[in-house]
Structure 1
Amino acid sequence: MAAQVSFSVASPGGPREMTVAYERAGAGEPLLLLHGIGHHWQAWSPVIDILAAEHDVIAVDLPGFGESAALPDGVPYDLATVTAALGALCEALEVERPHVAGNSLGGLLALELGRDKLVRSVTALSPGGFWTQAERRYAFGTLLAMRQGARLLPRPTIERLSRSAAGRTALTSTIYARPWRRSPEAVVEETLALRAATGFDETLAAGRDVLFQDDVPDIPVTVAWGTKDRLLLRRQGIRAKHTIPGARLVRLPGCGHVPMNDDPALVARVILDTCR
C-alpha cells in the first residue's frame, strides 16, 4: 500500500479535505512524478529506482486515480484546481519547489506547475494540450474505448490475457510500443486501475477545451515524445516547442505514449538531465 496524506483544497463552498496516495523513495532534491489519465503511480515503477539514486522521488496517484480518493463533491477536475491541489500536496509533504516529471495528463500538469513557478524544472513526456481538435477527439475516443474494454473484461480474462506476450499486447499496445516488457502483474493492476478510476470521466470532460498556449520561462523544460506514440501523435511535440521556445525537445526512439516502460534507461536519463 502506498502512503497517504490529507490536506485542504479550496472549493466554491469553502476549504475541503482531500487525501492523496503516493510512493516515496531515495534522497536528494525532490522529484515529483505525475502519471496520465486512467493510470496510477506504478506507471513510473520502471524508472523509480534509477531516479531515486539521485533524488527524493515522490510518485503520486492523482486525485480520483489509483489509491487516491476522488475530489470532494463540488470540487472540479479542471487544471487550475488539480494544479493547486498538487501545490498543497507539496506543502503537506514539506517539499518546496520540487523538480517534476509528468506523462500525458501528468505532463500537462507538470507544465502548469512550471508556468505557476511551483517547481524548479519540468520534464513533460507526451504531454496533453498541444493537439488539434481532431487529434483531441481521436485521443479521447481511444481512451474511452480503453476504459470500456477494461470495464467489460472480467478479471479472470484480464489475468489470463496478461500471461502471454500476445495478451499483454492486446491489452496495452495503445500506450506501450513494447507491451511484452510489462509484467503480467503490472498489466492486470493497471487495467483494473483504469476500470476503477473514479476521476476518469470528469477529468476527460474537463480536458475538452484545454490547450496549453503559454510559455514556461526561467526554468529548465524538456518535452519528450515517443516516436511510436499512438495516442498523442509526435507532431504535437513540434507545437509544444513553438509554444515553449526555450524547451529542449527530445525524441524517444521506439517508445510509445507511456515511454517509461519501453525504455527506462533513456527516460530516466532525460529526466535526470533536466533536473541537473
Structure 2
Amino acid sequence: MPLILIFWGSIVTFLFVLASFLFIAFKYIPRIGIETIYSIDFKYLLFAIILFFLYHSFDMLRLKTIAEGFGIDYPYKYAYLTSFVATFGATVTPVHIGGELIIFYMLKRLGVKTHKIWGTILFKTVSGFSFFILTFPIFVAYTISSKEVIQKVFILSIIFLFFSIISLPLVRWFRKGEKNKNLIRRIRLYCLSIIYFWKNKKIEFLKACFYSILLYITFLSFAPILMKAFHLNFDLLEIYLIQLPLIYAVFSSPTPGGSGVGEVGGVAIFQGIIPAGVIGIFVMLWRFFSQYLGAFIGGIVFLTILIKDLRETK
C-alpha cells in the first residue's frame, strides 16, 4: 500500500472523527454537569483498558493461528505489534482494507513468501465472517422484535447511507491508488486458500473462527463496562443485542475505520437507553477504547517500524 494513502487516509479519518466528536460535543456535552464527571467510577475505565488488551489478544491469536497453518512462525510480541498496526491500517482506510494490507507488510518484512501471506490474510477475513454469519439470524429477529428497534435501525441506516455517500470520493481515490488491481488473481488466491485450509488445516481454521467470535464478543463488552462506569442500570442481554446493528454498520462502513458511523450511529442506537446527559461522553469513550486507542498505538508502532526499515535499506 503506498504510504501516501496511509497519510491522506489518516488525515481524512482525523477529520471524520473530529467532525463526529464535535457534533456530539455541541449537542450533548452542554447537558453534562460537573458532578457527572466526578461521579465516573474510574475502576471500570481500568476494566475497559483490560478489555482492550483482551480484544487485541484474541485478534493476535486469530492471525497467529492461521499463520502457523501456513507454516509462518513469529514471536507473540511481534504478533501483538501486528495486531495494533493492523488496527491502525484498518482505521485510516475505507472498508478497513488497510488492516489487511499492512499485515502483508508486517509479514513480508519477516521474509514470508507472498502466497502464504495472502492465504493468511484471506483466511483471517473468512474467519471474521463466522461471527456475522452466526449472529445474523439473531440480528434479524431482534430488529423486527419491536417498533422501537426498527426505528433505531432505520435511523442507523440513514446515518450509514449519509457517511457512505460523502466517503465515495475517498473510496474511489483509494482504489485508484492501489497497485494490485488484479481481481481475478485475488479470487483465485482466495479459493485456493479455502481449499488448502479445509483439506489440511480444519482445526486451525475452527480455532481462528473461535478467536474471532471471542474478539467480537469482547468488542460488544465495552458498552456495558462503560455503562457501569456511569452507574447505569441495564439489561446485559439487551445491551449486547442492541449493538448488533451497530457492529454490522461499523465494520461494513466505507468510511475509514467506520468513523462517523460509529459515533453518530452509536448515539442513535443508545438513545433512550443512556440518559442524554451521559450519552455524548459515553459514545466518545466507547469509540476511544474500542477503536481509536488501538489505532493510535498502532500508528506509533507502524511509524517506528517504518523508520527502522527505511534506515536499514540505506
Q: Same fold (TM over 0.5)?
A: no
TM-score normalised over the length of structure 2 = 0.23
Judging by fraction of residues, say which structure has more helix.
Answer: 2
Q: TM-score, normalised by structure 1?
A: 0.25
